[in-house]
Structure 1
Amino acid sequence: MRTKKVSEHFLPSSSIGTGRKIVSISFGPKESGKKVYIQAGLHADEPPGYLVAGRLLELLEKADNSGDILGEIIVVPAANPVGLSQWNNDSVQGRFDYFDNINFNRQYPDLTEEIAETITGRLGTEPLKNINLIRECTAQILRSMEPEGETEYLKHLLLSLSHDADIVLDLHCDHQALIHVYMGTSLWQEGKDLSTQLRAGATLLASDSGGTPFDEANSKLWWELAEQFPNHPIPPACLAATVELRGSTDTDRQDTEQDAQNLYYFLQRRGYIAGVAPELPEFLADATPLDGVDYVTSTTTGIITFLKQVGDFVRKGDPIAELIHPMNKPEAGEKVILSTKTDGILFARCLDRFARPGKVVAKIAGKEALKGKGENLLTS
């Protein structure tokens, strides 16, 4: 029996004569007690995720036709129609809302305190019952909210679709990068197989990365509630991760098909799809703290020449790039060297080659926390 269901979710109009929607495709039995939610394109200008989600849907449809879907799987292949409408100079922008300049992957509802008030005096000694109670309360709170405006409605809608999932995967990409994954610190032991299956070159861990991105809106409340109610067992019931699928130009069929296949194997290994997944591939890189990432930042203007490649292991003090200012010492160009503050893997770097003061040029995954990182550990 086929279980595929396509649903349309309409957003309120943001201007006269406009209207947008997202589409969710679900497979599997809701009554299974197992749910996974996957979305792509929250940052609408990041192409690989759309292709990987689309190829994953092809695999899931074949499995559904064979009766092999065992748990509920929801895929939203294009999560941000607002951002997709943001064309400028023949390119989709799609990272920041034009109305308030807020990142589409920031400022999701943080429900921890409201949930805590609702569940006080109602928790018991059984972890599963506590999980169900928290999910019921979360659903009630979300239903009671009245988001204003198209983007706030979109964020509320996506969280409403995902909040009760056991696994939430948000597909993104960087500029030029290895596959890398962001997840909560307490999720690493459970989520290590995700990074391994995806052949991730880095996994960055944080209990609170700042700004409430989508993945943490789903996962962070679990360990925060566990801290507030230490006498009641509250497991980290949502493995939520942001998956960065290399760089923005990495849309080759071979890569996107393999990434989709790897996600399929991950779900198969987790019991959402019938069959036996192949053995995990070689484990490439241990997780490192997000506050250990060195954002190599330009100190001046100039043209960038990289001295290290994505995937290189670098040492503290190694030169990563040089900036050349073409109007200073015009016979040769004035050079400024940008170096790293830590040992680690260079897992991402910028795509364009123009520098300005404060621009993040490269990212190094260090093993030790760096001083002065502040509360916001992600780039804007």
Structure 2
Amino acid sequence: MQTQNHSLTSPTLGTQRYLTSFHYGPGGGQKVYIHSSVHAAELPGMLVSWALRRKLAALEATGKLRGEVVIVPVANPIGLNQYLFNHHIGRFESGSAQNFNRNFYDLFALVQPLIEERLSDDIDRNRTAIRAAMREALDAQRPATELESQRLALQRLSYDADVVLDLHCDKDATTYIYTNPEIWPEVEPLARYIEAKASLLTLNSIGNPFDEIHSFCWSGLRNRFGNRFPIPNGSISATLELRGQPDVSYEFAEHDAQAIIEYLTHRGVIAGTPAPQPVLEFSATPRAGSERIFAPVSGVVVFRSEVGRWVEAGQPIADIVDPITDTVVTVPCTVAGVLYARNLSRFATAGMEVARVAGAKAFRTGSLLGA
């Protein structure tokens, strides 16, 4: 194992932050990149990274790693230091109000003007050429802020990985996964091992979140040049939402870390026979079919449906109770699907998002990302 430190741009005199990456296994085979807690207040993935590192160290010691696995347990040291009145604020950068998981460098936009003359009829050579162009494009960037330098450092570590996993969690949720529909057949075994209750597919949700800037680049190049040159799925990338913010435990971390180990064994990154794949309880659905349910009024939220359960259209999801007027407003869903996430707050302001249901039919357009 090798440890590397990556300095970020110093935002003020006398301060310096850095990212730490841990590199297991030999180069030359498949490369896997995994990081956690880009939204710094989302901590389940950080503990999974810790458990995963211990497993990888044991596998490396016994010679079972056939490729390189890079782990960045703390992907957002900026957000880790953001507290207000003892409340951790890790989703948005306090200086710019930017979401930490938006606005990564658009690899497709950077590579597309450079790559045509380098492509050939050899798919493996094209993979190498595209990654070289990515490296050149990223090396040419000059970040002006600490946040930009953090994004760039993460992309320099991950752009050439065959598998990219971004470990997140929601507020109050079951385990679910986001990925590109073009690579779903290669991600589905991971969804099975992680026991995802919802698998949400979209090519481009708009906003350049971390996992999408990897797979979307290859999809975009294939759409642009695929009629003339073979373009592979050069990055199998996915976001794993590991339940809710309070779901930090050794038991969950062990389960999720082992699920990732089984997936990497399935892909041949780790020598051995993977465990049988569990049944995927619910089919993958389009992210554009996800219904966001909002509170029409303010009040105390009393949920009537649990996360991870199938709900029918019209089923009550929550009551909003006004203890002053004695009014109870019931909020239903309008689509059938899995209730995969709820707001952690049990007090609603008018217009607050209460929950989300993964419906089978796409109906949303534009940006599919929340705040």
What is the match of residue 174 of structure 1? 170
* Equivalent position of 2:353 in the other structure: 360
Give the aligned residue type for 1:274: A
Report the CA distance between 1:349 and its aligned residue.
0.5
**Alpha-carbon contact 2:107-2:214 (below 8 Å) kept:** no
Partner of 1:216, secondary structure, is helix
CA-to-aligned-CA distance 1:227-285 (integer Å, 9 cap, x gap) = 11121111221110000001111112111111111111111111111221111122222
> What SS does structure 1 have at the residue aligned with 2:228?
coil
Distance of 1:25 and 1:204 partners within structure 2: 29
Structure 2 counterpart of 1:369: 362
On the 8 A contact 2:335/2:359 being kept in 1, the answer is yes
Q: Which amino acid aligns with 1:216?
A: E
Find runs of 4+ consecutive structure 1 residues off by over 4 angstroms. none
Selected match of 1:113 from 109, 115, 129: 109
Partner of 2:337: 344
Distance 2:198 2:239 in 1: 12
Q: 2:7 aligns with which of 10, 17, 22?
A: 10
Write the deviation string for residues 147-172 of structure 1: whole angstroms up to 9, x where unpaired.
Answer: 11100000011011000000000000
- 1:245-260 to structure 2, matched below 5 A, reads 245-260=242-257
Cα deviation per residue 1:281-319 (whole Å; 9 max; x = unaligned)?
222221100000001111221110111111221111111
Which residue of 65, 72, 76 corresponds with 2:68? Answer: 72
1:378 aligns with 2:369: yes
Identify the residue that residue 53 of structure 2 maps to in structure 1.
57
- The answer to whether the aligner puts 1:222 opposite 2:213 as a matched pair is no
Amino acid at match of 1:136: A
Q: Secondary structure at the match of 2:117?
A: coil
Count of residues in Structure 1 that have an aligned counterpart in Structure 2: 370
- Alpha-carbon distance in structure 1 between the residues aligned to 2:332 and 2:317: 5
- DSSP 3-state at the match of 1:54: helix
Aligned-pair distance for 1:368? 0.3
**5 Å matches for 1:195-214?**
195-214=191-210
Partner Cα separation in structure 2 for residue 217 and residue 142 of structure 1: 13
Partners of 1:316 and 1:146 in 2: CA distance: 50
Distance 1:67 1:92 in 2: 41
Q: What is the distance in 1 between the residues matched to 2:240 and 2:342?
A: 16
Shift of 1:92: 1.7
Instruction: Report deviation, 1:66.
Output: 1.1
Shift of 1:365: 0.5
Aligned to 1:47: 43
Structure 1 residue 121 displacement after superposition: 2.5
Q: Distance in 2 between matches of 1:351 and 1:87?
A: 19
Partner of 1:144: 140
- What residue in structure 1 maps to residue 288 of structure 2? 291
Partners of 1:156 and 1:376 lie apart in 2 by 23
TM-score (norm 1): 0.95
SS at match of 1:51: helix
Distance 2:109 2:248 in 1: 41
Deviating more after overlay: 194-203 vs 6-15: 6-15
SS of the aligned residue for 2:184 comes to: helix
Aligned residue for 1:294, secondary structure, equals strand
Shift of 1:122: 2.4
Q: Which runs of 5+ in 2 are unaligned?
A: none
Tell me the amino acid that sits aligned with residue 326 of structure 1: P
Q: 1:304 aligns with which of 301, 304, 323?
A: 301
Contiguous gaps of at least 5 residues in structure 1: none
Structure-2 separation of matches of 1:114 and 1:281? 39
Q: Percent identity?
A: 37
